[in-house]
Amino acid sequence: MLKDIFYPTPQNAFIWLSSIYLLFLLYIGKANPITILFAYFLETIIIGIFNALKMFWSIHFGKSKGYTLIFFFLFHYGFFIAIQSIFGFSMFSMEKTVYIKEPFHLLENYTTILNLEGIKYALPAIIFTHLGKFVSDFIQNKKYLKFTAQEIMFKPYVRIFIQQFVVILSFFFIVFAQVGIIAAILLILFRLLVDLVLESIRENSEILEFLSEKLANEKASKENIKKQLTIFTE
């Protein structure tokens, strides 16, 4: 079962390459721990963009209807990001060297992040991971025919809660524990583990069979659990 998670495949190659690249940036000094941290912080926006693209594909090329659903998602998700950003910036502003403004100055703060030294090297790695998964998995496997836009719409929320919790926890280690490089490496490795596990829970996989069997109960059948897990990890 561990082989199904960690063994490099065409499906998880983008995850492996992205993580190795970020570790390489740290090693050669092209990105510092704070830059890696904020690259993952910006991933929330990237996830939303690709989720909207998946909804569009499911409507335009699949069986779903209603383009207005995409605009509703963008509005709702954008509001969610704004609240999350205010919370994040309120803590990041404690670290004076990052030059984060007041938490409510969202545009200024995001501009500051995008101008950080090394972000132009680190951020493409995050985009590359999601673009690779979108093309090689969602489009090539025609998942837009399997999932409706309504099912895809609520998919990112649980995942980004986990992601941002890890980012904020890493921030405290980087800034206050003064173990920046170690915390950044652990952040990359932990995200690698999480992404590989999520990628392994795919249709017809042993991991999916195992989890659905363990989680099935009187209220939720094995097939229903399978459906929910594949949507969540999509």
Same domain, yes or no, for 219 and 184? no
CB atoms within 10 A of CB 227: 17
Q: Is the pTM of this model over 0.75?
A: yes
pLDDT for residue 16: 94
- Are 138 and 219 in the same domain? no
Inform me whether the pLDDT recorded for 194 exceeds 80: yes
Helices and strands in the chain: count of H runs, count of E runs: 12, 0
* pLDDT reported for residue 141: 84
Alpha carbon separation from 117 to 25, 34, 120, 195 (Å, rounded): 12, 10, 8, 26
Give the mean model confidence (pLDDT) for residues 148-174: 81
Q: Between 42 and 176, whose confidence is greater?
A: 42
Taking alpha carbons only, the member of 232, 159, 196 closest to residue 14 is 196
Quick one: pLDDT at residue 131? 93
Domain co-membership, 129 together with 231: no
Q: How confident is the model at residue 53 (pLDDT cuts 50, 70, 90)?
A: very high
Considering the domain architecture, whether residues 136 and 225 belong to the same structural domain is answered as: no
213: exposed, middle or buried (Cβ count in 10 Å: 0-12, 13-18, 19+): exposed
Q: Do 171 and 233 lie in a common domain?
A: no
Question: Which residue, among 175, 165, 36, has the nearest Cα to 88 in the 3D structure?
Answer: 165
Instruction: Please tell me whether residues 160 and 183 are part of one structural domain.
Output: yes
Count Cα neighbours of 181 within 13 Å in the Cβ-side half-sphere: 9
Q: Token pair 């890890």 is at which residue? A: 166
Whether the pLDDT of residue 210 is over 80: the answer is no
Decide if pLDDT at 143 tops 70.
yes
- Token pair in block for residue 104: 């409510």
Indicate whether 133 pLDDT > 80.
yes
176/227 same-domain check: no
Instruction: Identify whether residues 71 and 174 lie together within a single domain.
Output: yes
Would you say residue 183 has pLDDT above 80?
Answer: yes
Q: How far apart are CA 71 and CA 215, in angstroms?
A: 34
User: What is the pLDDT at residue 205?
Assistant: 74
What domain range is 232 assigned to? 201-234
Instruction: Answer yes or no: do 110 and 225 share one domain.
Output: no
| pLDDT on residue 137 | 85
Structure token digits, residue 160: 């980004």
79 and 185 in a single domain? The answer is yes
DSSP structural state of residue 143: G
Task: Note whether 211 and 110 are same-domain residues.
Answer: no
Secondary structure class of 41 (helix, strand, coil): helix
Q: Which of 152, 186, 182 is nearest to 40 (CA)?
A: 186
Q: Are residues 38 and 128 in the same domain?
A: yes
CB 228 within 8 A of CB 197: no
Angle at 138 between CA 60 and CA 132, to 5 degrees: 120
Average pLDDT over residues 56-64: 90
> Looking at residue 102, what is its pLDDT?
81
Structurally, the chain folds into a number of domains equal to 2
